[in-house]
Structure 1
Amino acid sequence: MSKPHKIGLAIFGLGRAGMIHIQNAVRNPRVCLKWIVEEDLEKAIKIRNDCFLTDSVQIVKADDSMKAFQDKSVEVVIVCTPTAYHSDIILAALKEGKAVFCEKPIAIEEEVVRTCYAAARECGKLLYCALNRRYDPSMREIYTRVKSGEIGQVRSIKTTSRDHPQPSTAFLKISGGIFHDCATHDMDMICWIMGEAPSTIVCQAHSFIPEISALNDVDQVGIMMKFPSGAIAQIDLNRNAYYGYDQRLEVFGSKGMLQTVNQYPTSVSINNERGLCNGAIQRSFPTRYKDSYILEFEHFLNVLQGFEASLDVTEEQCLLVTRLAESCEESLKSGKLINFKMD
């Protein structure tokens, strides 16, 4: 039997998510990194050297990205740039017959999201919106156990997502705002577990950080959603938790409760005169969600190579969280509860 070929990759953008995908690509026996497209060439060269990649991994700026798009050995484009550039890269990649793995969101405008998926259907290539928290082992176990009926009828879901460290002002300027950048993770997780879209949504928020206020954005957010089934969801977001990257999920039902707690780098604890201490929780999303990034890409490759039938994240689900983010912005601006529905 002939040995399967390695899938050629081009990675666009070397932010924190891009760095994770570079590291995962190096370790993944199914893929071969061919191109890095990044404006900071010095950074890209350093990463290539640090990961012991050869000069055969070519590095170019965006102006020369057609070289990567037109490389016949590239089968997959991974998009990790700021959100504003996603759709242009996606459409260019699809036009050249490449499958696309895109860090969420596809775009912040619904019509642009629809255009990208339509282009994927037209050329018969995969377009995957990577909502990585679905692949976190703890959160996926909660999903599976809820669906099994273990806790009965779901009555309440609570998520806490507090960032650490505070993102740079440069990133925040191009992030798309806290609702599209952060809240979409929590809203997708909740709707995925519930298996339905909410009927109402209301949002309140405030900016405690002057640099974020100057961007007309907020850093503390509370979102409440009610579902047709009667369940109520609450989302607590903050741009910077002093003590670490705070990520928790609780699902309460008629027969019990499931929850995830914060993770620690090790299981070592100490007992002394001050009591029991477990140390500091994980400090950032690359460490907290390391496994989820590996597993979401494995899922994408499995579908690409025919080992799984279809992608977990659908166009409809992608559009749902985009519309929900827009509704949060509308509720915050108007101060009113929004009656939510998808067309």
Structure 2
Amino acid sequence: MATLKFKETSPYVQRQPEAPAEDYLYKKYLQNMAAQTTSIAPDDQVFNVAIFGLGRAGTIHLEHVVSNPRTKVVYIVDDVESKWEAIKQYWRLKDVTFLTSKQSDLVFKDSRVDIIVVASPTRTHEYIITKCLEAKKAVFCEKPIAEDDRSIMKCYDIAKKVGKPLFCAFNRRFDPSFIEVRNRIQRGEVGHVHVIKTTSRDSPLPTIEYLSTSGGIFHDCMVHDIDLMTWVLGEYPQKVSVGATAHIPEIKALNDFDTVVATLYFASGTLGQIDLSRNSNYGYDMRLEVFGPKGMVDASNEQPIHSVTRQNGLEGPQKTPIWYSFPSRFKLAYVTEFELFLDVVMGKKELPIKANDFIAINKIATACEESARTGKIITLNWKKEELPL
């Protein structure tokens, strides 16, 4: 009876706790529930989508377009005709038209097409984007937009002229863990940032066929870390110092690197460090850490089944592995960025990544590669209009 005095009234007459902000999946569930009792706004519509390329990224985007209630696939453009029938059967795409790239003009000319998702090889991006925008269709594109700054600006200028969004996908900005870190940093929880670190180690080892056309580790891989770091901080570095090597003979033969460590120096005094590897045999290693005088915030590796541990013999507790690769680790980020893109198309939200952002990231990546190849510290000069808001 000693604790009877602590007995409370029934929980049914008390205010129940609401789901914490971190439970993003429950928040989505509530949105889905609300949709059952809320009439569809007049400006909501189902967008007809064409997808260019069904490789690594294209397959990810196809799943999200097929499952999204706001979109419908009408065209798939891919040159590997032998897989068309299997794709059609698996995804139940009986009403979808499959084309080769030589037939893609049919997509550009079709007035029914609202959106085009570009996930084809890098060298094709500029042509497809230009044709899409000139046909007044919104574009969702895997990076890069094009292979040089002049071509990138040309694409964005066309988008502005025709009044259609050009969305470049830097998916890590849309990862719930990284968003939480940024929000806490922007609220000043660690104070002025002294050190920010990212770790990106690829799993599985990319094929030589992919690497030979990827654009190299700096523009294919490091751009994600640069974008994440500068997005969290809200500033660009003044200089960079980079060490890089190729431990794998086949990658060295491509005049590329498989291991990179970069230091970025920011005008505010913040130091940034990027740790890259093309080959992580224990899973897709993605981490972010931010340290300041008031404390530290980090996003460590996620596990698919994080609540399960096991013990065998005298080996001690063992946890499940981390996510194997990017389609699983950033699945929610891919979903979130596509949802935001649809809101942009509808005029509900603004583009989160604009031309100046993309060109700045490209400029920093180029400086990092120059530092790695020359062994020098490279200084970056920024005009006022180039700096982030």
Global fold match (TM > 0.5): yes
Are positions 1:274 and 2:320 aligned together? no
Residue 332 of structure 2 aligns to a residue whose secondary structure is helix
Q: Output the CA distance in 1 between the equivalents of 2:83 and 2:173.
A: 30
Correspondence for 1:143? 182
Preserved contact between residue 115 and residue 139 of structure 2 (Cα < 8 Å): yes
Q: Output the CA distance in 2 between the equivalents of 1:109 and 1:81.
A: 17
Structure showing greater radius of gyration is: 2
Are positions 1:166 and 2:197 aligned together? no
Alignment of 1:191-210 (within 5 A): 191-210=230-249
Alignment of 1:21-60 (within 5 A): 21-54=61-94, 56-60=95-99
Gaps of 5+ in 2: 1-39, 384-389
Correspondence for 1:119? 158
Q: 1:115-165: CA deviations, max 9, x gaps?
A: 111111111110011100000000011111110111111111110000011
2:281 pairs with 234, 242, 265, which one? 242
Residue 74 of structure 1 aligns to a residue whose secondary structure is coil
Q: Output the CA distance in 2 between the equivalents of 1:118 and 1:48.
A: 36
Residue 112 of structure 1 aligns to a residue whose secondary structure is helix
Amino acid at match of 2:325: S
Q: Output the CA distance in 2 between the equivalents of 1:208 and 1:92.
A: 41
Preserved contact between residue 156 and residue 253 of structure 1 (Cα < 8 Å): yes
Indicate how the Cα distance of structure 1 residues 185 and 43 shifts in structure 2: closer, same or farther if over 3 A, else same. same
Which range moves more in the overlay, 207-216 or 264-273?
Answer: 264-273
TM-score by length of 2: 0.86
Q: 1:262-317: CA deviations, max 9, x gaps?
A: 11111211134211211211111000000000000111101111222x11111111
Gaps of 5+ in 1: none
Percent of counterpart pairs with the same letter?
A: 43
Residue 91 of structure 1 aligns to a residue whose secondary structure is helix
Amino acid at match of 2:361: V
Correspondence for 1:102? 141
Shift of residue 80 of structure 1? 0.7
Residue 320 of structure 2 aligns to a residue whose secondary structure is coil
Amino acid at match of 2:339: E
Highest RCO, 1 vs 2 (Cα 8 Å, sep ≥ 6): 1
Are positions 1:297 and 2:328 aligned together? no
Residue 198 of structure 2 aligns to a residue whose secondary structure is strand
Q: Output the CA distance in 2 between the equivalents of 1:95 and 1:342.
A: 31
Residue 249 of structure 1 aligns to a residue whose secondary structure is strand
CA RMSD of aligned residues (A): 1.2
Q: Output the CA distance in 1 between the equivalents of 2:295 and 2:143.
A: 32
Which range moves more in the overlay, 213-222 or 37-46?
Answer: 37-46
